[in-house]
Structure 1
Amino acid sequence: MPRKKPTPEAAAALKPQPKSAVEKALDKLGLHRPIDFALHLPIRYEDETKIKKLEDALDGDNAQIEGEITSCEIAYRPRRQLVAVLNDGTDSCQLRFFNFYPSQQKQLAVGARIRARGELRGGMFGWQIVHPVCKAAGSALPTSLTPVYSTVAGLPQAYLRKAVVNGLARAESSGALRETICSEILSKIGQSAAWNLREALSFLHYPSPDVTLAQFEDHTHPAWQRLKIEELLAQQLSQLTSKMERDALLAPSLKAQKGGLHEKLLATLPFALTKAQQRVSEEIAQDLSQTRPMHRLLQGDVGSGKTIVAALAAAICVDAGQQCALMVPTEILAEQHFRKLVVLLEPLFEPLNLKVAWLTGSQTAKQRREALALIESGQAALVVGTHAIIQDKVIFKNFALAIVDEQHRFGVAQRLALRAKMNAPGHEPHLLMMTATPIPRTLAMSYYADLNVSTIDELPPGRTPILTKVLSDSRKDQVIERIADQIKRGRQVYWVCPLIEESEMLDLSNATQTHQELTEAFPGMLIGLLHSRMPPAEKKAVMQLFTSGEMKLLVSTTVIEVGVDVPNASLMVIEHAERFGLSQLHQLRGRVGRGAAASACVLLYSTGESGRLGDTAKARLKAMAETNDGFEIARLDLEIRGPGEFLGARQSGAALLRFADLLEDAALLERIRSVAPLILRDHAELAAQHIERWMGGKVDFLKA
């Protein structure tokens, strides 16, 4: 019997309805479940519980005053503004609005009794508040501090406050706030059971006015401590669970063969491995020999020799008859790795009729077809490329080892997609992630709790120390003289700029303008320009000219941040260095000092119209001048930027800490790390509820 077509009304009802502006705003804040609203804590509080008399006020007080409007008019000098005067019986205060609506003018009519709240400023013309919050007087004063929530456009505080109240009530009635941490565990962590989660949340949303605002700001109140414990425990439990699930999967056992490719590669190297390289290679080889999937992070400073360690791991994989993929974030870095690995491995692969394949977005259709055929047949034993590797058309015959370089530059979904290339249910490839941004210990304990970490903590012999100078851009002429001197000595120079094009917001030099200035300063010299908007073929041509030594000076944006290896380059100039992050500055600096020549990095800074550098920029530049140690740089970077920026929160996909502070709460994190396995063992159901409460749908991201 033919199926009846639905009526237009029924069809319209089945069609997904577009989201309202409020729903879109809530999505941006990640507010979906009742518990999400309950955990959306205030960023600060306003005290509306008291009325302050002007005669008792001090300059700078954030106060609420109440009185009668004695005048209200629109003034036009120095600019159009609404000025009302409120008298509270002890003194008068001007209420000044530079942006206002007719409704505000009506609210502040002469004779109206008003409550106004804001920062009191006492000048020669008496008290004033600029843009106060005003409401009609007469209603009862609140009994708790008024919460102020983080919000986005289209979501007023009043709406958000009601939504949080509603979410808190629904979370409690649904059981989402039930206790998941027993008193025995709390005592092991060093916290009393005096504050449960429900009490802590109620208090933090609506605190009594007798608690000082300072206690909320520094997060020392017991209610805040309870939230920190809950959050850190959720993070540790979720990562441990993820590790247990992964350990239950199977991976091919890849064992280094006696006299195999691994040993042959070591024998052909023109240098001896450092002790650190030997140690981490053995750790990786041990992992690969297991039937449990390796999940290891290899960290090492710029130039410490991570690529050769990756090549040794790939050799073990290929020796076992399996395929390996190395995924990198940029084509420049992919090509750099490809060139090195072809030289190292193809002579060993040829007798076995195997190849190193190359896969990027800029390949021709013919090149891509050939590469895809090699990969699918299994003849491509090692595949080097960008995110092109994870496209659907790429089919591996026997994929067993995924290596991700500069892993923080990839999104979580991309890392998961690479591992999914091993299309065998219940199986997973071994994963080796590499980074030249060392991970401070507190981050390793927290965000990398489910990873084994290998560290190359020494540089190969022959790397020259890099002298770092911090100079004002007013001394650019001296820098150009230094460039001329280096080029005369047969050396090469990088000049890095932060922007490609002019921005109305930032008065910064762009790469094109700097290239023009340097071309005029060095007439007749071949000066390269490299930025992310250039076609890949053009980028490749410029890099080849610079790598060959034909081009002496390269003006570039941060596309040269990782992977570029030109041993003859001895000077790095970073323009507007105050705009770069500390780890990025260190990565850029690592492009020089790769040969025998003495090398230098010049950090040019601009103070702009203010005439002074900000405290954060000062701290970064000072750190760069004082140390070349990537681990110390990483520690300082974490202090300056916090974990969200350090890890690239937008890329991570997992919830970053909102309440705990990795630096301040390191001791608390240590204690929680020690009890998390006990909770999983003895209270598995409560642990699952705890993870769901805090992580929700983000649990899968931890598997990357």
Structure 2
Amino acid sequence: MTAPAPAPAPAAASTAAKAKSAPQKAMEKLGLVRDIDLALHLPHRYEDETRITPIGALRDNEPAQVEGVVVDCQVEMRGRRQLLVRLKDESGSLLLRFLHFYPSQQKQMSAATRLRVRGEARIGFFGREMVHPVVKVVDDTTPLAQSLTPVYPASAQLPQAYLRKAVASGLARADLREILPHGVVPPGLPSLKDALNYLHHPPPSAQLAALEDHSHPAWQRLKFEELLAQQLSQLRAQRERALLVAPALRGQPGGLHERLLGVLPFQLTAAQQRVCEEIAQDLARPQPMHRLLQGDVGSGKTVVAALAAAVAIGAGWQCALMAPTEILAEQHFRKLIGWLEPLGLKIAWITGSVKGKARQAMLDAAASGEAQLVVGTHAVIEDKVRFAKLGLAIIDEQHRFGVAQRLALRQKLKAMDLEPHMLMMSATPIPRTLAMTYFADLDVSTIDELPPGRSPIVTKVFTDSKRDDVIDKIRMAVADGAQVYWVCPLVEESEAIDLRNATETHEELSATLAGTSVGLLHGRMSPADKAAVMAQFSSGQMSVLVATTVIEVGVDVPNASLMVIEHAERFGLAQLHQLRGRVGRGAKASVCVLIYTPPLSDTGKSRLKAMAETTDGFEIARRDLDIRGPGEFMGSRQSGAELLRFADLQEDAPLLVAARALAPQLLDRAPDAAHRQVTRWLGTKAEFLKA
């Protein structure tokens, strides 16, 4: 037996790494590592090099390929050095203009040379010309391409010629044998191998429109395969989780859950009661709950979380609540203290700003079990944080946390060979098609009803030329006893983006609104200063609060009825909706003013139009999905790795429904095929779904 080769020494390994060419590194950056990766790297457009257009038949501003003989080639000074080449065929002549060129190119295109040239024709007063066309030296026997030439998504370090050769090699080597059993693929679709070969090298007769809008049967086959792999991965993760063991947490008659219901200063809505029951049923089972609680801004998710925590704590277990920002975590902390401390509960507060002895006291309380509820930011999942008996983990604004962070919270109970129940909350409602794909492994509870007493919010959109008029409206609102938010997107000047910063706006409003208390809140302030400012605003001592997006979620001041969002075009749609949700929390009619700086991009117009037309979070989410696509909409659920590359959740809903129905059958009857399907399409990305 031959001994294995020794591992390269560090110096040798370093040399090998340096030996990689720029195109190789660029390919790795694009994820083009396996043969199947290359085979699935599809063109985003095509060029037709299968036919020759007579020079005399060229059309203005249309791409074409011509062939002719060079009759003149010279460098001229026309403001700058230019290489001018006159090409002629039997139908006419064409000027080739090169503004950047090398001496070798001039030599290559000398008189009497036959050239095949592809570019966009321009027809003007001085005749036909092409600027910087693609040029190839040919002779009478040089064959034409037999298929359309693919143009692949690439980068500056990755020339198309290099990428085409690499993709062709990967396509030839990739194992494209049929994995799926007979009858699984919808009728009328080609084999995977035929579909990929067609998409990489379409015949000249191919319908370009069907290729470009992805409606061609070859595209449909790829979309179906991808959706099926994604559904299989989700279902497999769900079944694996069902085999895990979690503590069965049941509320007792007259226990903490019922006592909390008895002291709440309001009645639960019917929607809140429904989702509380769904969560309680999950907690009572010995399998880990994996539930998403979604509800629009202000729908009352925090009290549902508190009641779930009461069930866990009443059953003798601890609960952890993790929020993405300190301000949001503190809002939860204050509400939960108000509801739970009078019932005799001990609540620990763990964030990055809690230091020294105070922090150690909180850590000890969590580790001993003295603290039945631990509230905090991502600091809750640090290694030093230990729990005696963690039974329920609640993650607010779950899309703001990465996969690794959510997995770390699940590990807190591993010493007992148990999994904690997980309740994830989101104020960004998930459209149905998105829930069927990215959240297929989750149970979803939806609060689709706002508590009584919430006032409607009117949204108005103005250009920044109306800024002074808006400030006049603020003056009138303050005189009428209202409180106002003014939101700025940046804290300090950026040379790249010319935006007013929060500090300048605070100074301007303080001077303009003389006699009015104007506060400032931003992310660089100390926690103590933030808390002091919020306390003043919440108590009504402060009339106007200039803030950055630190107030996006969790801030609850019922008397605030006017919000101004400056440079609204810089915000995402979901973020604008979250910010708007800070007003309309009391009985007073509320207004949200969006100020933008023209000109607006198409995306900016779509966002502001959606905000002006609807306050329905589910409709906002649907439009946001249309504007941004699923990858960005989902934030960090996939840690930046978008699981759907080809399928479109809106257009391909029928394929999604078919894949969803087939996934359990395939997993039951052909588990090996299901495993190979997931590996082929998702590789290691499937692991992300387990979080």
TM-score normalised by length of structure 2: 0.94
In the TM superposition, what whole-angstrom CA distance separates every residue of 1:241-287 from its partner, at most 9, and x where no partner exists? 00000000000000011111100000001110000000000000000
Cα distance, 1:10–1:415 mapped onto 2, change above 3 Å = closer
CA contact (8 A) 1:119 1:129 kept: yes
Shift, 1:228, TM fit: 0.6
Q: Which residue of 2 aligns with 1:171?
A: 174
Q: Which residue of 1 aligns with 2:327?
A: 332
Cα distance, 1:355–1:428 mapped onto 2, change above 3 Å = same
Q: Which residue of 1 aligns with 2:604?
A: 617
Match of 1:583 among 544, 567, 574: 574
In the TM superposition, what whole-angstrom CA distance separates every residue of 1:218-255 from its partner, at most 9, and x where no partner exists? 11111111101100000000000000000000000000
Instruction: Give the length in aligned residue pairs.
Output: 682
Cα distance, 1:80–1:345 mapped onto 2, change above 3 Å = farther
Shift, 1:83, TM fit: 4.5
1:204 matches 2:199? yes
The code of the aligned residue for 2:96 comes to L
In the TM superposition, what whole-angstrom CA distance separates every residue of 1:612-648 from its partner, at most 9, and x where no partner exists? x333322222221111111111111112222122112
Q: Which residue of 1 aligns with 2:316?
A: 321
Aligned counterparts of 1:62 and 1:500: Cα–Cα separation in 2: 48
Aligned counterparts of 1:50 and 1:673: Cα–Cα separation in 2: 44
SS in 2 for 1:92: strand
Match of 2:458 among 462, 467, 486: 467
Q: Which residue of 2 aligns with 1:280?
A: 275
Shift, 1:532, TM fit: 3.0
SS in 2 for 1:602: strand
The code of the aligned residue for 1:303 comes to G
Q: Which residue of 1 aligns with 2:543?
A: 552
The code of the aligned residue for 1:31 comes to L
Aligned counterparts of 2:173 and 2:190: Cα–Cα separation in 1: 20
1:344 matches 2:345? no
In the TM superposition, what whole-angstrom CA distance separates every residue of 1:293-341 from its partner, at most 9, and x where no partner exists? 1111111000000000000000001111111111111111111111111
Aligned counterparts of 1:291 and 1:153: Cα–Cα separation in 2: 54
Q: Which residue of 2 aligns with 1:632?
A: 619
Q: Which residue of 1 aligns with 2:362?
A: 371
SS in 1 for 2:563: strand
CA contact (8 A) 2:403 2:637 kept: no
CA contact (8 A) 1:653 1:698 kept: no
The code of the aligned residue for 2:184 comes to I
Shift, 1:102, TM fit: 4.6
Q: Which residue of 2 aligns with 1:18?
A: 17
Q: Which residue of 1 aligns with 2:92?
A: 91
CA contact (8 A) 1:296 1:451 kept: yes
Cα distance, 1:593–1:250 mapped onto 2, change above 3 Å = same
Q: Which moved more, 1:646-655 or 1:149-158?
A: 646-655
CA contact (8 A) 1:238 1:691 kept: yes
1:498 matches 2:485? no
In the TM superposition, what whole-angstrom CA distance separates every residue of 1:49-86 from its partner, at most 9, and x where no partner exists? 11212221222212122233423435453x66555443
CA contact (8 A) 2:643 2:685 kept: no
Alignment of 1:243-258 (within 5 A): 243-258=238-253
CA contact (8 A) 1:121 1:128 kept: yes
Cα distance, 1:106–1:268 mapped onto 2, change above 3 Å = farther
Aligned counterparts of 1:108 and 1:632: Cα–Cα separation in 2: 59
1:307 matches 2:307? no
CA contact (8 A) 1:72 1:85 kept: no
RMSD, aligned α-carbons: 2.3
Q: Which residue of 2 aligns with 1:291?
A: 286
Match of 1:694 among 678, 681, 689: 681
Shift, 1:32, TM fit: 1.8
The code of the aligned residue for 1:262 comes to H
1:143 matches 2:146? yes
CA contact (8 A) 2:35 2:171 kept: yes
1:158 matches 2:149? no
Q: Which residue of 2 aligns with 1:56?
A: 57
CA contact (8 A) 2:484 2:545 kept: yes
CA contact (8 A) 1:408 1:651 kept: no
Cα distance, 1:89–1:531 mapped onto 2, change above 3 Å = farther
Alignment of 1:388-467 (within 5 A): 388-424=379-415, 427-467=418-458
Aligned-pair identity (%): 63
Match of 1:541 among 493, 507, 532: 532
Aligned counterparts of 1:359 and 1:630: Cα–Cα separation in 2: 31
In the TM superposition, what whole-angstrom CA distance separates every residue of 1:417-476 from its partner, at most 9, and x where no partner exists? 111111247531111111111111110111111111100000000000001111111111
Aligned counterparts of 2:63 and 2:637: Cα–Cα separation in 1: 35
SS in 2 for 1:357: strand
Cα distance, 1:277–1:105 mapped onto 2, change above 3 Å = farther
The code of the aligned residue for 2:73 comes to S
Cα distance, 1:424–1:654 mapped onto 2, change above 3 Å = farther
The code of the aligned residue for 1:179 comes to E
SS in 1 for 2:183: helix
SS in 2 for 1:215: helix
Q: Which residue of 2 aligns with 1:512?
A: 503
Aligned counterparts of 2:94 and 2:457: Cα–Cα separation in 1: 60
Q: Which residue of 2 aligns with 1:3?
A: none
Aligned counterparts of 2:601 and 2:13: Cα–Cα separation in 1: 55
1:570 matches 2:561? yes
TM-score normalised by length of structure 1: 0.92
In the TM superposition, what whole-angstrom CA distance separates every residue of 1:654-696 from its partner, at most 9, and x where no partner exists? 5421111100011111111111111011111100010111111
Aligned counterparts of 1:114 and 1:516: Cα–Cα separation in 2: 67
CA contact (8 A) 2:66 2:116 kept: yes
Aligned counterparts of 1:110 and 1:566: Cα–Cα separation in 2: 80
CA contact (8 A) 1:400 1:429 kept: yes
